[in-house]
Amino acid sequence: MSRSRTEKFERSYGIHAATVLHSIAMVAVAGRSRYPARIKAGRARHYKLMASLP
């Protein structure tokens, strides 16, 4: 992961940057699943997390 992307997320999300980046990575992993329910659940968790951040 490039430094500039990490810095961008740190500016946008502050102390939550690592959590946001991890959540994005987990959505990408779920997206490679053969099971649509797993993909949908991964996206739902990400959207719920993003909505809860300040």
pLDDT score of 53: 87
Q: What percent of the chain has pLDDT over 70?
A: 96
Q: pLDDT digit string (tens) for 1-25? A: 557 888 888 999 999 999 999 999 9
Residue 32's φ and ψ, nearest 5 degrees, are -90, 0
CB-CB contact of 42 with 27 (8 Å): yes
CB-CB contact of 19 with 50 (8 Å): no
pLDDT score of 4: 80
HEC-encoded secondary structure of 9-46:
HHHHHHHHHHHHHHHHHHHHHHHCCCCHHHHHHHHHHH
What is the average pLDDT score of the chain? 89
Mean pLDDT over residues 13-42, rounded? 91
Q: What is the pTM of this model?
A: 0.73
How far apart are alpha carbons 2 and 39 in whole angstroms?
26
